[in-house]
Amino acid sequence: MARFILLLSFFLVALAVGVSNADSSAEDYWRSVLPNSPMPNAIRDLIYPSKAAVPAAHEDKVGSIFFLEQSLQPGSAMTLQFTRTTTGASFLPRQVADSIPFSSSMLPDILSRLSVSASSEMASSIKKTIAECEAKPLADELKLCATSLESMVDFAKYGLKSSNLRAMSTSIAKAATPKQKYTITGLNKVKASELVACHAQRYVYPVFHCHTTTASAYTVSLSGADGTKIQALAACHKDLAAGVEEAYKKLGLKPGSVPVCHFLPQDDLLWARV
């Protein structure tokens, strides 16, 4: 009964805050705090989730494929599959998100409150996400796992020491794309010495692992073998961020010797000063 009451309260809060007004209130919030940044698709898709949402991928197929920065040039081709991590749920209002425990020590309570079976795949994902969020940051890195749109925006402002920001994400016209060959048709380097990256996590509701980074970034136009057009974000690292050290090993390179890059899936974000 307590579980039912909690879920019902979430529904009523969502309805009040909520289902009828969330679209406009979230857009109003975005315009009020980020007047110089168009809302990227990664955010818009969590405010207006599709009724025919593509099931979330259990692994990040595009973000885990690394290549050399010199490969980022028109005419280069590579085989990729762009996937989503988020489940299609909308952002929780900040006051609701802040009321839900988010700690490894509270895992049984979290699963109970969210009506998630302890033996389910989602329970494993929740445990993994919280553990990664609780891991120590790299040297000179700031990090936060944002459980609401407001907390993400606040962290981006804090991390970049500015309120005048823009947010970017990979944009794909189709809801789902197959694994296929993509050719680079154009690219531009993002003019920024510092960025905040926010990576969507597998969770019951939207959670983003956000951190500061000195990686360089590019907006890349891709054309798929089936005609799919993608405006993708690529990040190029010389640091030892998660997955990067392993990428150097796979490429047979000394860590930090040359930049190694990866594309961002469409529900990840990069923040930069305007």
Cα 131 to Cα 68, 126, 209, 267: the distances in Å are: 30, 9, 11, 21
Q: What is the pLDDT of residue 142?
A: 97
Rounded-to-5 percentages of helix, strand, coil across the chain: 30, 25, 45
Q: What is the pLDDT of residue 20?
A: 41
| Rg, the chain, Cα only | 19
Indicate the pairing of strand 165-168 with strand 195-200.
unpaired
Higher pLDDT among residues 105 and 10, named by residue: 105
The tokens for 201 are: 């996590």
- Which H or E element spans position 14? helix 2-14
Per-residue pLDDT tens for 81-98?
A: 998 887 778 899 999 999
Per-residue pLDDT tens for 21-30?
A: 555 688 899 9
Q: What does pTM read for this prediction? A: 0.88
* Lowest pLDDT segment from 46-55, 140-149, 237-246, 247-256: 46-55
